[in-house]
């Protein structure tokens, strides 16, 4: 599907829960130490990135208490408390970290409640605006894993007033349908970028229902996107390859909310600069070949 050009003056907003947010937000994962484990290399620099993001108009930050663990949420609290009223902080539950930095499933109701309480405490909040249930890759590998028990546990906490809105991370289309049968889903956070486009159909179906799609690893994650087509388009437009990759996602569908992450103020400003970059149709055609499925 070819992306549609948008007006140059803004990337626009989209609904996240019951809040309109700017479509270009910030992902805080990289503020933790190497491997998303332990403290940041530079504590003050991490605080500076968070404060710069909000000062630049970012109103949607993605985090989790298993980043660190606990490290990133505490940084957010230190940098931004009291939380600005127009800032939406979205977090994730469903995993815990081992002492070796491993990512282990924590999907049982008591584990999810403990994770919600950890997020509340470390963020310094009385209620979490958005929580995504992260489905563990090992569960996905075993087939069409049911998330009903886990999602129902979060829905119970939503009824208790601990959570305002629910979402999913690493979810299949079948799991999205299953969750929506239990409680409203306001966002789905899956891997998606120029080179990884398995969710094309899901994005379009969510857009039809006014549900946000939040790509993680929008710039390739731990292995940044590398493509001669991407580099060539960036050179033609006088932009960086990462700005072009962000602009392509913004033009892909109006329900896409982006959370590119960085631990650098300069890189943050570069990412935010992509909000005004509009890709001409020939550039979109070239970029679409990067993730095109071979016959």
Catalytic residues, by residue number, are 67
Cα–Cα distance for residue pair 93/97, rounded to 1 Å: 11
Question: Dihedral of CA 204/208/213/218: which sign?
Answer: positive
Cα–Cα distance for residue pair 128/123, rounded to 1 Å: 9
Cα–Cα distance for residue pair 247/250, rounded to 1 Å: 5
Cα–Cα distance for residue pair 26/103, rounded to 1 Å: 22
Widest CA span in the chain: 53
Helix (H), strand (E) at residue 80: helix 71-80
DSSP letter for each residue of 19-42 = EEEESB-EE-GGGSSGGGBSS-S-
- Residue 167 DSSP SS3: strand
Contacts of 97 (CB under 8 A, 6+ apart): 37, 66, 68, 69, 103, 104
- Residue 221 DSSP SS3: coil
Q: How many Cβ atoms sit within 10 Å of the Cβ of residue 137?
A: 11
- Look-up: residue for tokens 């306001």? 186
Phi, psi of 256 (to 5 degrees): -80, 125
Q: What is the CA radius of gyration of the chain?
A: 18
């Amino acid at each position: 599907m070819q992306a549609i050009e948008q007006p140059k003056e803004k990337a626009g907003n989209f609904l996240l829960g019951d809040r309109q947010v700017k479509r270009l937000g910030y992902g805080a994962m990289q503020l933790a130490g190497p491997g998303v484990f332990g403290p940041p290399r530079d504590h003050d620099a991490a605080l500076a990135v968070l404060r710069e993001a909000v000062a630049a108009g970012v109103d949607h930050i993605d985090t989790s208490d298993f980043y660190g663990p606990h490290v990133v949420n505490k940084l957010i609290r230190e940098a931004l408390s009291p939380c600005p009223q127009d800032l939406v902080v979205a977090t994730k539950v469903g995993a815990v970290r081992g002492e070796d930095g491993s990512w282990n499933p924590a999907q049982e109701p008591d584990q999810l409640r403990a994770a919600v309480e950890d997020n509340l405490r470390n963020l310094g909040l009385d209620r979490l605006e958005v929580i995504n249930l992260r489905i563990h890759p090992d569960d996905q590998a075993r087939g069409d894993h049911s998330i009903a028990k886990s999602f129902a546990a979060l829905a119970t906490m939503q009824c208790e007033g601990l959570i305002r809105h629910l979402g999913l991370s690493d979810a299949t289309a079948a799991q999205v349908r299953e969750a929506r049968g239990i409680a409203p889903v306001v966002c789905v956070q899956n891997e998606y970028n120029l080179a990884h486009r398995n969710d094309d159909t899901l994005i379009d179906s969510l857009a039809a229902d006014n549900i946000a799609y939040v790509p993680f690893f929008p710039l390739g994650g731990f292995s940044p996107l590398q493509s001669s087509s991407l580099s060539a388009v960036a050179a033609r437009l006088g932009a960086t390859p990462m700005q072009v990759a962000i602009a392509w996602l913004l033009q892909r569908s109006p329900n896409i909310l982006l959370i590119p992450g960085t631990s650098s103020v300069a890189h943050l400003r570069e990412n935010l600069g992509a909000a005004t970059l509009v890709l001409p149709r020939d550039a979109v055609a070239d970029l679409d070949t990067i993730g095109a499925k071979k016959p």
